[in-house]
């Protein structure tokens, strides 16, 4: 691959598959290609590629970036939240920008490569205990509040744009293409994995190409969505009119969290109907009403991100540890296989033990004086 050598010169190594002169390790042997790590390529239109930072072995992602309408806003947003004054703020859940790389001769394809830590789907492994889901919800609300308090709106909140830093629960790492090619994954049977109770994880927002940044709260303006999956009622009523990007974020996060409750592929317009369908994860059914105000028809009826975080902290104060320790489970209509249910049950036993040995996530027990 033409970028391997330039990347190596600045300290990043691609997998062997992308080295010049690569030959499949299965060739000339009796092994099948699908059993070999270097047979895993990229899926779809490749805009990201996994790599390793040579100086410390850190697994990273290299993302193509162009200064255009679809991507342009991302670099400014990532640089903003990666500044020293914000980078280590505990409420900052914006993926860190580790570096940028320019490859000479690739100007026609991309302007820069953005270097970010290798993240993983937030629900890989899936949530099994209620406490895991509550911690996830609290963190994404906290992250949205921090973004908005800095006058930045994400603009494209969907499940694929919220990810998990897996470094703590996969201390020995995992295959870099796990989240890049979901149709070709190597077995993780022998990969060391801790639970989220043994080693708490942090969740991050990624993909800020649709974001909007404002100098101050007073200078916020309405904007037109750049690229989105979920559109709020005010946009569907008049797609030509700009909308409040902060209320838009609240709406799309509400839809996104309801989706994680496994409402289904088709979204009714009635929240009450959504509630009746949200049985695929029965152990989380008690949380779903919390999301109702987030998807209010009128944007002015939706709470701010700060109000949402405060309300959820109050919600946690009323939630008993025994509830947090419950198994989430799956409905008969969820499509989970027998093997999947067996894994789920076995994992819950482990998590119950860990919940007493290591404790439930500390953030689920906020200090009452903060509310």
Both 188 and 222 in one domain: the answer is yes
The confidence score (pLDDT) of residue 236 equals 86
**pLDDT tens digit sequence for 167-189:** 999 999 988 888 777 777 777 77
Q: What is the pLDDT of residues 6-58, one digit of tens each?
A: 898 899 999 888 888 888 889 989 888 888 888 887 776 678 899 999 999 99
Q: Are residues 83 and 142 in the same domain?
A: no
**Around Cβ 149, how many Cβ atoms within 10 Å?**
13
| pLDDT over threshold 50, residue 231 | yes
Backbone dihedral region for residue 57 (phi beyond 0: left; psi -120 to 50: alpha; all else: beta): left
Evaluate if residue 127 carries a pLDDT over 90: yes
- Phi/psi at 357 (5° precision): -75, -45
Structure tokens at 272: 């009450």
Q: What's the pLDDT band for 114 if we cut at 50, 70, 90?
A: very high
Residues 212 and 266 in one domain: yes
- pLDDT by residue (tens digit) across 184-213? 777 777 889 999 999 999 999 999 999 999
Residue 164 sits in the same domain as residue 248: yes
Q: How many CB atoms lie within 10 A of CB 115?
A: 22
Does the pLDDT of residue 265 top 50, yes or no?
Answer: no
pLDDT digits (tens, 9 = 90+) for 65-95: 988 877 889 999 999 999 999 999 999 999 9
Please identify, among 60, 91, 118, the residue that sits at the C-terminal boundary of a domain.
Answer: 118
3-class SS letters over 331-360: CHHHCCCHHHHHHHHHHHHHHHHHHHHCCC
User: Which of 66-70, 220-224, 292-296, 326-330 has the least mean pLDDT?
Assistant: 66-70
Q: Is residue 24 part of a domain?
A: no
Q: How many CB atoms lie within 10 A of CB 26?
A: 15
d(CA 137, CA 151): 21
pLDDT of residue 313: 96
Q: How many domains does the chain have?
A: 2
Is 102 among the domain residues?
yes
**End of a domain among 71, 101, 118?**
118
Among 96, 118, 140, give the residue marking a domain's end: 118
Cis peptide before 77 (omega within 30 of 0): no
pTM of this structure: 0.91
Tokens 């994680």 identify what position? Answer: 260
Average pLDDT over residues 263-275: 39
Residues of the domain holding 252: 120-371
DSSP 223-236: B--SS-SS--HHHH
DSSP 54-115: TTTTEEEEEEEE-SSTTTHHHHHHHHHHTSHHHHT-TT--BPP--EEE--TT-TTT-SEEEE
Average pLDDT over the chain, rounded to whole? 88
| Same domain? 330 vs 195 | yes
| Contact by Cβ (8 Å): 169, 188 | no
């Amino acid at each position: 691959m033409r970028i391997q050598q330039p990347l190596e010169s600045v300290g990043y190594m691609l997998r062997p598959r992308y080295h010049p002169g690569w030959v499949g390790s299965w060739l000339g042997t009796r092994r099948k290609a699908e059993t070999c790590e270097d047979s895993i390529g990229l899926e779809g239109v490749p805009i990201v590629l996994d790599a390793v930072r040579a100086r410390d072995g850190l697994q990273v992602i290299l993302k193509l970036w162009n200064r255009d309408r679809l991507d342009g806003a991302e670099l400014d947003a990532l640089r903003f939240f990666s500044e020293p004054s914000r980078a280590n703020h505990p409420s900052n859940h914006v993926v860190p920008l580790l570096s940028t790389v320019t490859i000479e001769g690739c100007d026609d394809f991309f302007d820069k490569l953005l270097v970010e830590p290798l993240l993983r789907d937030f629900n890989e492994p899936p949530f099994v205990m209620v406490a895991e889901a509550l911690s996830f919800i609290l963190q994404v609300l906290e992250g949205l509040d921090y973004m908005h308090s800095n006058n930045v709106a994400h603009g494209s909140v969907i499940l694929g744009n919220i990810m998990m830093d897996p470094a703590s629960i996969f201390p020995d790492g995992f295959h870099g293409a796990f989240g890049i090619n979901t149709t070709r994954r190597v077995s993780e049977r022998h990969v060391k994995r801790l639970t989220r109770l043994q080693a708490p994880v942090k969740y991050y927002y990624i993909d800020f190409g649709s974001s909007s940044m404002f100098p101050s709260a007073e200078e916020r303006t309405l904007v037109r969505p750049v690229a989105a999956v979920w559109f709020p009622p005010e946009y569907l009523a008049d797609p030509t009119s700009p909308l409040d990007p902060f209320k838009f974020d609240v709406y799309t996060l509400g839809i996104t969290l309801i989706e994680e409750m496994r409402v289904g592929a088709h979204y009714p317009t009635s929240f009450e109907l959504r509630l009746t369908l949200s049985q695929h994860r029965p152990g989380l059914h008690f949380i779903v009403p919390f999301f109702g105000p987030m998807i209010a028809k009128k944007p002015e009826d939706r709470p701010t991100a700060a109000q949402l975080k405060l309300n959820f902290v109050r919600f946690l104060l009323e939630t008993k540890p025994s509830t947090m320790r419950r198994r989430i489970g799956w409905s008969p209509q969820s499509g989970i296989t027998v093997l999947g249910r067996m894994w789920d049950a076995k994992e819950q036993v482990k998590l119950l033990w860990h919940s007493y040995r290591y404790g439930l996530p500390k953030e689920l027990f906020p200090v009452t004086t903060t509310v």
